[in-house]
Amino acid sequence: MHAKHLVRTRIRDVLMVAGIDALVAAYFDPERPFAGDSFDLLGDNPPDLITFDDLLATSLLDISWRPQAIRVLIAETAHVAVDLAAIPSDLDLWAADSATLAATTTLHEWLDKLHGVGPTIASKLMARKRPRLVPVHDDVVQRAIAPPKGQFWVTLAEALTEPALRDEIEALRPVGADSISLLRLLDIAIWMRHSRSRNARYARGAAGVPEPGPLPSPTP
């Protein structure tokens, strides 16, 4: 089976879990210990600049920034601004062409190499700057979707070209979460379903959602 079809199936495995809508809604409950929409809405978020608000917002997703990385980001503000300007801010991942994905990859790889950053933190910062184009790429999502190695963005983009699948993801959107991108909504659904964190496990128990079984093997 083609990789995009496998990824669609794995996404639907999450979407069809009884109670997944309650889990997603719990993520946005201000009384619960989750980032909610603060990751997207906190402070200033100019499209072509990385600000201290961006660093604070990404820290809500259980990451921390090393001093060396912060100093480089401050020193290289102009460089980062040029790279961000080359990436559209109003384009969805499934509509992106190869040139856009290449420009996105260039900045992601540069961030990835900063001291103490790596691919997950880099993806969270880029998801804050380009929420419609860049998905959060952490171990939970990677293992749940299990795309071919090194093809996370491309395979997910191909999977999401199916309008019906996008509609199924949109159906999970809670009232009051209108500002959240579809990619972020999908990330939340997968993370709330599969994360082994204490808070996610507690939320599953409160919603009556059983613990997940073993995650799929990576696609060759």
User: How confident is the model over 6-45, as pLDDT tens digits?
Assistant: 999 999 999 999 999 999 999 999 999 999 999 999 999 9
The whole-model pTM stands at: 0.94
Cα–Cα distance, 125 to 53 (Å, whole number): 11
Cα–Cα distance, 192 to 34 (Å, whole number): 10
Residues 6+ apart with CB under 8 A from 176: 28
- Given a contact cutoff of 8 angstroms between Cβ atoms, the answer to whether 108 and 83 are in contact is no
Q: Over the stretch 202-216, which tens digit does the pLDDT of each residue have?
A: 999 999 999 998 876
Sort 53 into a burial class: Cβ within 10 Å, 0-12 / 13-18 / 19+: middle
Cα–Cα distance, 39 to 104 (Å, whole number): 20
Domain boundaries, given as residue ranges, for the chain:
3-207
In the predicted model, what is the mean pLDDT of the chain? 94
Q: Over the stretch 80-139, which tens digit does the pLDDT of each residue have?
A: 999 999 999 999 999 999 999 999 999 999 999 999 999 999 999 999 999 999 999 898
Q: Over the stretch 37-65, which tens digit does the pLDDT of each residue have?
A: 999 999 999 999 999 999 999 999 999 99
- Given a contact cutoff of 8 angstroms between Cβ atoms, the answer to whether 140 and 191 are in contact is yes
Q: Over the stretch 124-153, which tens digit does the pLDDT of each residue have?
A: 999 999 999 999 989 899 989 888 888 888
